[in-house]
Every structure is written in C-alpha cells, then in structure tokens.
Structure 1
C-alpha cells in the first residue's frame, strides 16, 4: 500500500509541475536564480523527510521485508536484489551533479530562443533509456532448467512471462509509445512569434534540445542506480538531499556569474517555494520506488505515457476545429500510445500504473482506442455548412440595434436623470447636467446614456477626498510631459508656453471646451501629453477606492456650488530628457508592475507566459468563436491573456517615463485596460496641423487589397521584441516566401461536399493567393549610438516600401498599434465609405465603447491566428475560391462611415468632454456629496 501511495504522489506532483510551471514567472524572468532556489528547497525538504523514514517503505533495507522472497523451486532470492540495477561507481554522484547543472543550462538556453525549438523531442526519452538497458543488460534466453522449474505456470502466466522477456515486444512497444506521445506534442497550433533563419541559431537550439534529452536519460539512469543501492530509506533520502544541495550550489554559482537580478515580486518567491516542494515530492516518491520498479525504463515509460495521454485526449475534443486540423495525427497519437503502452507494461513487468492494476489500464486503453477510431472520422467529416463569419456578422448587426437602444434610452431630461442613477449606483447626476442634456440634444448626439468609460474611469477617485485630488492634480502636473488645464469663472486656459511643441494640442482642447465652459465648475486637470498612459496603480488600491466610491450615494439638490479660490497654475517643470532616459523602465520591471494591476489568481498576476512557441488557446478562447475574435471588449482586457505580454511591443519596450504607481488623477488620450488614467478626447500632435483629409471614393472603385504600412523607430529593441512585436510578426507573417516551413490554419470550402473545413497550409504558399500589401515604410529598431543593436531579421529590410500612395484607395486597411499607443489611421479609415478598417489593438480611446466590431470595423486578434481566414472570407483566394463576404465588406465600410459621421464628430468629442468635466468638477469640490442634480418639484 505504501508503494502505491508513493507512485500516486510521484504522478500527481509531476502533473502539477508540468501544468503549473507554464504560468509561473520563474522560467521567464529569473531562470538561474529560480533553479538554484528550487533545488535548495527540494534538498532541505528531502533531508527533513528523511527524519521520518520509519514511516516510509524500505526503512529496514532494500524493501526486503515488504516484498518478501521470490521462490523458484528450491531456490530463493530477494526480489529487491533481483530487480536492482548494476551497482554504481563512486564517481557517479559527481557525474550526476554535473549532468543536472548542464541540463538546467541547456533548458535555459532553449527557452531563451524557444520560438526556434522543435516540440515533442522529449517523447523519445524512453527510447534512449531502452537503448541503455539493452546495452547494459542484454536479455538472454531462458534455460531448459528454468522451463522445467516453472512447469506449474498457467498459459496466461507463460504468455505474460514471454512478453516480458521478448525483445520483439519491448522494442516496438517502446517505439509506439514514444511516437504516439510525439504526435500528441506536435499537434498544438503555433504562435506567430517567429524564428529568423538568418539571425537565430535554430539548428543549434534543436541540437541543445537533443543534448537536454540525452542528459535527461543520463540523470534518470544514474540517479536510479545510485538511489536503488542505498542501504535504507533514510540513507537514500539523504543521498538525494546531498545531490540536490550540491547541484543547487553549482547552479547558484552560474547565477552569480551571469549577473542576473533578484526577483522582487512576492509571487516569484511563492512560486519558487511551491515548485520546490513539488519537486521534492516527485523526487522523494520516485526514490522510494527505485528498488521495486524492475527497471528505470518502466518508470520513465509510465511518466511519458501519462503526459502524452492527457494531452492527446484533450486534442480529441477540438477535432475539426482550427485548433486541431489533423484527425490522422490525433488518431495515431491515441491509438499508438494505447497499443504501445498496453504491450509496454507487460514487456517491462510494470504491475501497476500509479495505483491502478495494469489489466484494468489495458482494458480502458482498448476502449479509448476504439472510441477515438469511431469518433475521429465522424468529427473530421462533419465540417461547417455555413461560414462562421456569416453568423458572427449577422449576430453583430442584431446586437448593434440593441446597443443603440441602450445607448439612447432616454427621451427626456427626467428620464435621463433616472437612467443616470440606475447606471451609477443610485447617484444623482452632477450639477449642470441639464445644460449638458440641452447641449447634446442640440448637437443631435446619437449617444445620450451610454458613457460607461467615463463612469469607470472616475469611479476610484470617489474614494479620494476632494482636497487630496486637488493636491494630486498639481503633483501630477509637475511630471514630465504633463500640462495643467484650468477652468475658472467660465474660462478655460492651459499653462504651456508658446515654445512648447504641445501647445497646439492644448489649444485645440481649450477650443473644444470654450463652447460650454460657462456651464462648468471651477476645476484643474493634469493632462498627459505623452503617447503612453501614465498611471499603473496596483489592483488592490484601485478596487479598494472604487468600492468606497460606490458607497457614496448621499446627494441633495439645488444647493449653491461651493467654489474655492484657486491660485494661478504654475508652468510645468523643465526636465532634462537625457537625464530622464537614464531612468527608463525596462520591459521586465514594467511587466512586473503590470502584473500587480491585475486581480489575484489571473494569468498575468500569476506570472509571465514563457511558452511563446505555442499558441495560448486558453488566453484567446474567452473572446473568440473558433479562430475569430467576437468579444472585442473582452479582448482589450489583459489579465487573462498572459501571452500578450510577449506579443505586443507596448509591453516589450523600455518606457522613457516610468508609470506612476500611485492613483493620481491624470487625463490621457488612450490607455490599456490595466492603466487607471482618465480618457479624454485629445488630438495627437500630428493631428493638430491644418491639412485636408484624403478624398475617399466608393468601395467598389478601390483596390481589393489589405493595406498596411508600419513605421518603427526605437532607441532600443530587445531580441524578443524583434521576433515577437506586433508589427514585426505581422510583416513576417504576410511576406513569408513559398519555401518557408511555417504553416497557417485556414478555413477553406470543399466544393464537393458543399462544406467548409479547416486545413493547415504552408503560409508562404497561401500568401500569394491573398491580396496582402503589407510592409514597413521605415524600420529602425534601435539607436546604435545609445546601445548595441541585436541582429535584425533581414525580412524587414527587404519588405520596406516607400509608398506615397493614398491608403484610402484600398478596400481594406489594417491598423495596428505603435509601440506607444493606437494608430490614428483607424479614424480616417472608419470615416471613409470606401474602406473597411481591420483593427488590431489593445488600447482604449474615448470612442472605443461606441464603435462596434463586425458592424463598423473588422476586429483582428493580436495573435493574428485568423488573419488569413478573415481576409479570405471577404476577398476569396485568387483563382481558388470565390469571396463569401464581399457584400458584408461593403456594408461594414458604409455602416462605419455613417456612424462616424453621427457619433465621432467634433461635436461628439465636445459632448463627451462636457460630461466628463461636469463629473470631474463635482469630484474635486469639497461639497461634492451635496452637488447632485435633480428635477425641481413642480
């Protein structure tokens, strides 16, 4: 019973490690330090457990008492001695320690360029162990005397004994097991983060992977021999503890030599402790099984099988979807593992798998193989009779009608006051709400009630006192690239001098305010002039203040507006930019701060996603319908999408101005969901110049192309950004040559069956069939005067196009974020009836909540997994298929332009700003709880 419990603990701890470590930051951020600490914790835990060895199996020796004796006629011999491997040499401990240190280093090297690695190589570990076993202990034929001694055996026992001693069964069963697990491991869809053949050492990474698998085999074999020959359980555990201790110290020396930092995030230390204890559980449990396992091959095979079976069964459910397009591969994985492992357990004389008898396991595997053989062809032939985008666009049209009713539910001022209270936790509107209502009605606003973004932005500040808000506003205005907007006695002005390049931006903002400034209370606002948002406060702080704000509902009406004498705003403090650059926050530190802005238990809060090679299906699935992005609002939330921290340049570039971690009232043009800035309609510096917009033309007269031009100019680009940045991945994906081995999963029609199926096709061969016009207009990844530039993939330099043509002459325009914020081209494309904007973003702007996906624009996931399928739906494949959605494309272009002319006008920006300033003016007033607006009694 104790050995079964040890087996169960070994399997459970192993599964915990392989499933939890992907979401831990110990691999991505401080790999060598993590390895050192985990080994040391496992060492101390093993040593502590050794003090309780009397409660564990094998305390009196090599399991002699527990296993008893094996009888063969008149001969007796201990089973433990029969199963023991060769006795280890004295220097084996040193070799084992060196192998462990080298294995950790090989793992760190592979994860540093994980996009260049090959999946599934670990599946061949049983074959390597088998090769060692055949070399060191060749099986010999049984003698005549042996057969005579065993004449009492049943036929089933004789057959089982033959299988256990036949190389003709052992070798193919091990191969089937490994190959089945390999098929399961390579079936995952790949991320679009790429490996550059010219500048990434792909062959070397794969070589290091194979070295790692060889080291795995050496570690398992040597450790098995050492621990199996320990005299008692106590000595076995203390030997294990010593090996881990010295290995940890050796890894620590490499960490010190590398100069890596020390993790400061408490979650890092929590992950280290948990993984250290889990590793100790795995190693201690495995060491208790060492003398009775028959051979190390059986143990390795069981662990490999469990890993592959769980993964392959998971791959059965999405058969036929974009996540799993290989029915044959999935069937081969399940059947190969089932048949191989059924023979393997008998060939290696494994009596139980964890705590389950092998006969029952074989019976279950037989049922699984039969079920998968029936289910696979049915699921793969099912297909889709209707393209999913047809239904997605139809559902979006229906939802847009509902949204418009919800956005303008009120038809009178009293109704608007009631609606405001229902949407703002029972709070009355601010003073001046009636003036705002009249202004919005006069400007014919299509949105009268839906201002959720404004309410969400200012809600946390209800938990801060007015005096503190006024003080924090002045404090924020003294930061770099900040300005102060002041409204006093119905007049708006700012504090930027004529020499400041952003003066035109603030002048335009003041011009927006002047039409309704007389109705505003006196107030001050700190305006962020930088492209990046500024306030990255911890989630706990924001939620605590927001909860306090929800409780503040006390209001009364028609009281005089309390005003205070505000001194003249001071000019912004001049800051030396060169000096500020020295304090730039590096991407690693920025990701740590971003994690703290997420709720506890979310993916980002738990750690950085390090498996950048494979597609994170669990990250994309909540907001997707198959390949396609359907819930655009949810896609803008980062906390459940940890992979985006390594797939968007905003999270991968150093920020010249570090974000503020205190909840300061700062108004910004845009932000990601994690930032606490207050969004306001603020033009960019480039948009303030007087220029006529390009003349648009009808949709049918435009060129049927998807157009994109990227412009990159950075001071510094880490290597991971050059392979994983949003713009880099897009240009690489759309310009792959036909000889490229990269593949994409595309939804293709089957004319013979009148259905559509997902297929995996070479990306380089499908690109010429789609009208991509995607390139960089300029690409400067870093400034060589400031830092040494890492190798830049040649693809980007070869795809630079000096295109001076009008982008609006293309039917489809793809807009991506820059390193700092959203692209201004989206507004231009949206306003044109001849263009369909494809939008791929993580940012929110003032109008984000009022433009609807699949109605006004086409949303594209940051990961680009559906880029080819989406474009193929609208334009078809050249000489291959007809477009399904050309009519839908024209309709989206026209609907977007009509809506922009109604809801994204200058007047709409004024309406948004007017309401925001009324809210803020009440918030900074000492009598804010008394300044609610109510309809006077008749």
Structure 2
C-alpha cells in the first residue's frame, strides 16, 4: 500500500517517547535549560545506541550471539487490540493524563526528573521487550530493518561489540538512524526539565499549552509532511503546504493556549518565590528553555508519528525501534547522571531516597510509561496535532476539576477567569473542527471512530467541568463562610473560655486539685512556693501550663540517670553551641565552656532565676545558644516515650507517701570537663545548609499526616489543602476567596503543610543545624513543630534588647497608615538560590510589588500627616544591614534584587523606637523566633505575625491577627484589637511572667531528673 505524505499538525500533553509524551502530560510542564550538555548528549547518544541498533549485513550478523526478534512476533501483542485498540489506548492515555495532572505538585517523582525520566524510559523499553518475549519464546529467526537485540551469552565478548559499533559507524548506519536525533532530543529535554524544576518559580505558567502551535509550525516548515494510511493507488508526495486553513488553525491554537494559561494561572495561588533580576542569570533564561523544550516536544512527536505511520504495516519494526530508543535514552541519562557525583550532596540526592520518594517514583513512572505506550499506539490512527491538542486540553480540564473538588479552593468568579475559561472550552471544539481541515487537505484522514470518540470525550469533560463549577460557585459555597464580625465573636468567645479555665484556682488547694486533674500526677515539691510567688506577682495564669507538660512528657520515658548524663554530654562539647547553668544549694553558676559571645544570655538567665533559686533542688541544664532548635525525635519513638512516661506518672499518682526534694543526695557531678573541638558526638550531627523537613520534621509527624505521605516540591504554587486545618473563609469585603488564619497553633503545625518545606529558610537551608534524633533535654528559646526542645523565655526579651518605650508611642488613630518592617536576611543560609523562597525575602518582594501597584499618597503631603481612614495602608519594608549568611554569588543576587545593585540599602535604617509611628507592624521569623514580637504587642500598633517558630508564650496568645478592610469600620476594629493585644501583653508577658514560667518549669525539671521521681510531689 502506498503511503502518501500530506501536511498535518500535532501537539499533545503527552509524548510517546518518555518526555514528549510525559512532560506534556504534566500540567505545568515547564522545563529548564541545560544546553551545555547538548553536544555531550549527542556524542554519547551516538555511541550508546550502537549497542542497541543492529542491522543485518549480507548473509552474516554483526553480533553472532544476538537473538533477533522476528517481525511476526510483534503481531500477537497487537492482536487483542486490533478491533478497538485505539479506543482503548485513548481511554488509558486520558486516565493516565488525569492521574499525573492531579499529582504533579504533590509527587516526589517530579522533584527528581532524572530518576523519573530514567525509570520511565526503562520501564517502557523493558515492557515492550517483555511482551514480545512472552508472546512467543521462539526467537530464532531474524529479519531486515531496525531490530531489538538481546544478548544470550552470559559473558559476551566486548571486543566483538566494540568492533560491531565501529563497523556500524564506518558504514554510516549510525548517523542515518533516526534513533540518534530522537535519543538526543529526549536526553536534552530531560536535562531541560531538570533545570526548570530546580527553579520552577521562574518558569512561565503551563507553556506546554502551545504545543499544538509548535507542531503545526513544524509540519508546515517540514519538507516532508505526514499522512495516515490511504487507499491503494495514491502516490507518495513530499511537499510543504501552507494555506488559509493553517493560518486559521494557528490563530485559534494561540488564542486557546493563552486562554488556558490564563485560566490555570487564575486558579492557582502563588507561593511568592522570587525570580532575581539580571539578563544573564540562568533563572531568567528558564522561559527561553521552555520554548526550546516545547520545540523539542514538537520534534519528537512529529518524528515518532511519522515513524509509527510509515511502519503501520510493520508493527514489529515500530515497536522494536521504540524499545531501543527508550532503553538507549535511559542508559545515557544514567551515564550523564554519574557525571555529577563529584559532589557529595549530589550522591546523597541520587541514592538516599525516602519511602515516599520510592513509592512515587515507582507508581508515577509506571503510569507515565503506560501513557507513553498508549500514545505511541494511537499515533498510527491520529495526526500528532490531534493527539497533542486533545491530551493537553484533557490535562487542563482535569486540573480544573481536581482544583474545584478541593474544599479549600473556592472557584474564582472574576470576569477574566470566566472569559478565559469559556475561551479555553470553546477553543478545543474549534481546534477539533479545523484540525480535520489541515489533516485532510491532501485527502488523508484519521480513524473516524477514534475522532468521534475524542469529540465525545471532550463533550463529557466539558459537561463535568461546567457541572462542577456550578456546584462549587462561590454563591453556593457561601454558606460555609462567616462574616468577619461573626468570626471575631466566635474567636473572642474561645479566648474567654480559655482564660476562665486557665485561671480557675484561687487557693493552693484548688491549684493542687486542678493540677492533678489536668496532668494525672501530683504537683512537684515546693509547688506551694511557686503558687505563692505567682499570686504575689499577679500572674493571670495559674492552672494552664500545657506547654511545660507537653515539652517534658517524652522525657518521663527516659531514665533520670540518662537525662543527667546527656545533659553533661551536651555541656562538655563546646562545638555543640550549648551553655549551662548549675544550681547548687540555691546558688546559680554558669557552666564552663560557654563562649564569651553568648555570656550575656547565661547572665540574663541567671538573673531570671535568682529570685526563686533557693526553692530549687540541685540541678544542671543545657541551654541552646543558637537560634535554631536541636532535638527532633521520630514520631514512633516519641509515642513510646510518652507511653512510658504516662506509666511512670501513673505510678507517681498512686503513691500516697509523697516526699520533698532531698538536698542531702548528690545526683549531679561537680566536674568541669570540657572536651576539645575535634571530639565528635555520637548523638549530634551538623546539617548546615541541608534541607531538613523530610529528614527531621516529617519523621516526627503521625504516619497518616501529609508530611509523611506527600511531597509538595513546587516553590511556585502554594498548597491550598494545607490551609484546611487552620484557616476559614470570611465573607466580607471580597475576602471570600482568601482563607484567613483562625487557629494560630495549627497554623504553625508543619505536619499538614508539606509546602513549607521549600518556603522557609530554617527548613530549606539552616545557617546552624546541629541536630539529634535522640531524646536529649535541650532548653531552647523557640522550636518548630516536630522538634522536642524544652521551651524557655528568651533572654533577649528579658533583657529588653529591643524594648518598648511607651513615651515614644502615639494613639492608633494618630499613627501613619503604613505596614512597616525593617530587618536583615537572617532566616537561612543563602546557597544555590535557596534564598529565593525564604520567608523574609518573599515578604519584602511581595510588599514592594504591592507598594508599586497601589496608588501612592500625594507627594505634597507633609511628613507625619495622618492618612485618611478610607485609604489603604502603604508598605514601607526593606532589608538593611550586611549580607552575611550567603555564598558570594547569592549575596550579589540578593543585593541586586533588594538594593537595586547598590552597596547601600534602598530603605533607611531606623531606630527601634521609631516603629511606634506606624499603625501596622509586621513580625517575621528569623533564624529562630523573633525578638520583636513582645515589644510590638506592648505597643498601640496592630501586629501581624508570620512564621513557624513557637515560643513559651504561644499558648497565652489567643488573639486574632488579621488584615482588615480599609473602611472606617475596619479601622475601628484594627484599633480595638491593637488595644486588646497591648493590654494582654502588659498582663501576661512581663518579666514577672517569664520568671513564673521558669520557676514552674525548673521545679518540674528537678523532679524529672531525680532517681526517686516517682515518689516526689507536693502533698
């Protein structure tokens, strides 16, 4: 049968050769640039594929021990699908597309594109070979054409292989083989994908929607166009064809691609990661790399479609070619990956895989390989433009459906979203209609049954999408929202309820009874001294010290002797960054080995404890001198420790003969041993600049938590489902589409927020990270969820290093209507571009963007004039100080981004007391907790808090920190909440409250480390 070559177009959301078909399957298939590998890839592809490309020469074989698969062995593979094979393959392809689309951001497979690509290619190639071998064990005959070769000899002769390769190249068969350009394209686009994943936040949104456009342009420019099987007697022609039909199709395809990209962009929420300025920075080249990638996709799809259709009557040749191509590309990718092993970090990334990564790689690569094989199968009956367009559209629709089914993702009802969505829906129908024109211009046509099926599939998807939109339209979902006044009333009621139960006791007897009920054990010895001290100093909280209980409970499962030994171990190694306090007979001394730079911290703690030291038993305790927390105990170990601790407490509760502290026993050593800096610890390890979320935080979460089951790797898009446990929708002033925080404790829980793994400096690249997974009793100023440090009040706040001066403050109504922040980039170590998604960097970039977008107040306004109440708050935020925690290149990039390339900051430094001029103050995490939060709360300004670190005062703060409407009523609410926060801070966050908290904590610690702790208590 003669096959006439006619003009056609192509484009798909999936590719038949792993990455054409695969990366388009990804709804965000944005792929980075790695052009430096292209020449190397081409050469290695040429050499590597010779071991898979074997051609018959004369009456002999190039490889005598090769078993050549006969052409007729491939027919059994296609036989079961002969009648309805393309329909079945199309269904499988669309199901796989929906699966991959739904998992793109939350699967660890796409975070490791080299692993994913290699495994998918390998599975695809081996699946074809395994099917052929299973179909018929008789593989003795051979035929001409490109064959798939396997070697039967257990010890093949390498000289003959090398000679065969040389002969293959010498006879120019190598460079005439279509495997070479296709294999090179696959490898190159994989490297581009890898590079883009590394900087996904710099990529264009869903640029793969332009694939139909690129395929049409390629087919028009190609001197040899493609056709499907034609009736007998047609002549084969090779020509370029370009007509009004092509212009019309290209125009519609471009409009549809833009509408689809706009729809996807409006339906996602940016994570705020930064693309640094500078035309020569590789982040800025990612869009160009995406263009190259989509061009490679078009090339791969068209070339594979041509090969598939030219060999439609010779299926074994087509499938053998695909198997050889996939296996050769997989092998080459593995070789190129080894070139990066000069760096230990890359070796660890390549081979140290968590369970979630292994699971996702296996599952998603299998789905991708099935999609590839399905796409390759239907190529014989579809033009590449049809396949590309329908599969890409299916990916877009599937993404929208999955998004609307998420309860935390209300549908955007803006006019732009509805218009772009309508165009995206109508565009597919028009493209299906006009695709028939350009594919049949020369009398060729696709399988009409398959085209009708695709049209029906399109109608079903559109119907389901529209139905889902109507169900989840904001007007219908508004019943799940609250007005802002109602929500404030609910939260105030919760706060009042907490206050009542936290301060019930008025007498010592009541306090003892409440203690026993809450914590299932008697209070520690000298509890009466603590109660007297707390009442004398007017503590607003007497009964609820849940933070202390939660911090110490795991250590009740550790023997007292072990706790004392580990405390001594931590203080004996100066490189661990620990300072210690020693209490003997009511006297407090600072342990030796404390570095001079942090001596002020220990002196501050000494001053904090002195008023009640005479009531404490002898003890030592190790204080973390770094900002970062230290102890991350895996969840299963924590559960076991807590269970043992509860058993120990139960025995204490049942003991009726309680004893006081015994000062006659010497439990703690008095030696001052300090080991050298080269002495290693068997418990602690340095993880500076390592990503710690999945190594330390996730293992401390419950097994069914998102942290343990998903891997949200995208730094471009935030995770909407991660908001569910701590956010609600507020139906007021157009805020219904923006969830707001309603539970601050849950908002700092990292176990349901895997997207924060790459959006916080401490989790992504900590500047100091000496961690342990053993239950070490380390006292720290702050910690994130997942860490088991014992929280203490901060010496920074106790010493008023950043104090509040009420005389410098003014009433809220007289403050400038400005959101103000000044600070330095201390929330992580900037290396390899990691700073681009740090919390402080994202906030400053977003604030400056909003400031530039909003209309500024008149430049003629006098300084200090009060902004009108109906005007939106302006932003005055910026980095000041040195760029220190960064590599040289990253320091330069940060300077270019935030200081416009100057050596001096664009924002002026201000004295701390000048903060009180502004109505809105932002507080952000640094390397650890923020020392400004308490003085901000004491002021008359409204405080906004963003961060993941918890401190001793977290349980005391039940207020709401919102961004309010800018109308008059909104300003009144803001002033009220600012005043409520100021009053509460004056009552519960004083120096006296820090001492009260520390007094109770050290009484509990003294009992915990006593060998007779199950007999100690206040009767």
* Contact 1:604–1:641 (CA under 8 A) maintained in structure 2: yes
Matched, 1:804 2:900: no
Pairing 1:614-693 to 2, within 5 Å after superposition: 614-625=717-728, 626-684=738-796, 687=799, 693=805
Residue aligned with 1:639, SS: helix
Unaligned runs of 5+ in 1: 56-60, 62-87, 147-164, 745-766, 860-869, 877-881
Q: How far apart are residue 666 of structure 1 and its match?
A: 0.6
Match of 1:285 in 2: 374
* Contact 1:535–1:659 (CA under 8 A) maintained in structure 2: yes
Matched, 1:931 2:1013: no
Pairing 1:439-838 to 2, within 5 Å after superposition: 439-479=533-573, 480-496=576-592, 500-552=596-648, 553-555=650-652, 556-561=655-660, 563=662, 564-571=665-672, 573=674, 585-588=688-691, 592-606=695-709, 609-625=712-728, 626-684=738-796, 687=799, 693=805, 695=807, 696-712=809-825, 717-736=830-849, 770-782=873-885, 790=893, 792-796=895-899, 797=902, 798-804=905-911, 806-832=913-939, 834-838=940-944
| Distance in 2 between residues matched to 1:464 and 1:582, nearest whole Å | 21
Matched, 1:111 2:197: yes
Match of 2:61 in 1: none
Pairing 1:68-217 to 2, within 5 Å after superposition: 91-132=177-218, 137=225, 178=257, 180-187=259-266, 188-198=268-278, 200-201=281-282, 204-217=285-298
- How many equivalent pairs are there? 832
Match of 1:64 in 2: none
Match of 2:532 in 1: 438
| Distance in 2 between residues matched to 1:471 and 1:366, nearest whole Å | 67
Specify whether residues 8 and 687 from structure 1 end up closer, same or farther in structure 2 by C-alpha distance, changes over 3 A only.
Answer: farther
Specify whether residues 133 and 768 from structure 1 end up closer, same or farther in structure 2 by C-alpha distance, changes over 3 A only.
Answer: farther
Specify whether residues 421 and 287 from structure 1 end up closer, same or farther in structure 2 by C-alpha distance, changes over 3 A only.
Answer: farther
Residue aligned with 1:775, SS: strand
Residue aligned with 2:985, SS: helix
Q: How far apart are residue 272 of structure 1 and its match?
A: 2.7
Match of 1:751 in 2: none
Matched, 1:394 2:489: yes
| Distance in 2 between residues matched to 1:169 and 1:794, nearest whole Å | 43
Q: How far apart are residue 243 of structure 1 and its match?
A: 1.8
Q: How far apart are residue 842 of structure 1 and its match?
A: 1.1
* 1:185-237 alpha-carbon deviations (Å, 9 max, x no partner): 22223232122333645652211111111111222233334455377777655
| Distance in 1 between residues matched to 2:673 and 2:789, nearest whole Å | 19
* Contact 2:89–2:378 (CA under 8 A) maintained in structure 1: yes
| Distance in 2 between residues matched to 1:204 and 1:190, nearest whole Å | 20
* 1:592-630 alpha-carbon deviations (Å, 9 max, x no partner): 333433333544445653322223322334322334222
Q: How far apart are residue 381 of structure 1 and its match?
A: 12
* Contact 1:525–1:667 (CA under 8 A) maintained in structure 2: yes
Specify whether residues 737 and 414 from structure 1 end up closer, same or farther in structure 2 by C-alpha distance, changes over 3 A only.
Answer: closer
TM-score (norm 2): 0.72
| Distance in 1 between residues matched to 2:670 and 2:101, nearest whole Å | 57
Residue aligned with 1:667, SS: strand
* Contact 1:53–1:233 (CA under 8 A) maintained in structure 2: no
Residue aligned with 1:838, SS: strand
Specify whether residues 180 and 603 from structure 1 end up closer, same or farther in structure 2 by C-alpha distance, changes over 3 A only.
Answer: same
* 1:169-190 alpha-carbon deviations (Å, 9 max, x no partner): 9778766764553343222232
* Contact 1:342–1:362 (CA under 8 A) maintained in structure 2: no
Residue aligned with 2:944, SS: strand
* Contact 1:115–1:613 (CA under 8 A) maintained in structure 2: yes
| Distance in 1 between residues matched to 2:1012 and 2:547, nearest whole Å | 24
| Distance in 2 between residues matched to 1:575 and 1:768, nearest whole Å | 61
Residue aligned with 1:622, SS: coil
- Which piece of structure 1 moves more, 817-826 or 803-812? 803-812
Q: How far apart are residue 5 of structure 1 and its match?
A: 4.6
* 1:337-396 alpha-carbon deviations (Å, 9 max, x no partner): 256248728965576789x955754654575587689889x8589999999544433332
| Distance in 2 between residues matched to 1:499 and 1:42, nearest whole Å | 59
Pairing 1:361-376 to 2, within 5 Å after superposition: 361=457, 364=460, 367=463
Q: How far apart are residue 688 of structure 1 and its match?
A: 6.6
* Contact 2:802–2:912 (CA under 8 A) maintained in structure 1: no
| Distance in 2 between residues matched to 1:777 and 1:242, nearest whole Å | 58
Residue aligned with 1:195, SS: coil
Matched, 1:885 2:885: no
| Distance in 2 between residues matched to 1:263 and 1:371, nearest whole Å | 45
Matched, 1:907 2:1006: no
Match of 2:398 among 284, 301, 310: 310
Unaligned runs of 5+ in 2: 1-79, 138-142, 144-173, 235-243, 437-445, 729-737, 856-869
Match of 1:85 in 2: none
* Contact 2:782–2:791 (CA under 8 A) maintained in structure 1: yes
Residue aligned with 1:516, SS: helix
| Distance in 1 between residues matched to 2:115 and 2:271, nearest whole Å | 27
* Contact 1:320–1:379 (CA under 8 A) maintained in structure 2: no
* 1:712-745 alpha-carbon deviations (Å, 9 max, x no partner): 36995224344222222222222238877xx99x
* Contact 1:716–1:787 (CA under 8 A) maintained in structure 2: no
Specify whether residues 613 and 386 from structure 1 end up closer, same or farther in structure 2 by C-alpha distance, changes over 3 A only.
Answer: closer
Q: How far apart are residue 98 of structure 1 and its match?
A: 0.8
Match of 1:39 in 2: 121
| Distance in 1 between residues matched to 2:802 and 2:354, nearest whole Å | 51
Specify whether residues 616 and 20 from structure 1 end up closer, same or farther in structure 2 by C-alpha distance, changes over 3 A only.
Answer: same
RMSD: 4.3
Residue aligned with 1:772, SS: strand
| Distance in 2 between residues matched to 1:894 and 1:739, nearest whole Å | 31
Match of 2:958 in 1: 852
* 1:142-195 alpha-carbon deviations (Å, 9 max, x no partner): 99x99xxxxxxxxxxxxxxxxxx9989977876676455334322223232122
Match of 1:81 in 2: none
Q: How far apart are residue 892 of structure 1 and its match?
A: 1.6
TM-score (norm 1): 0.78
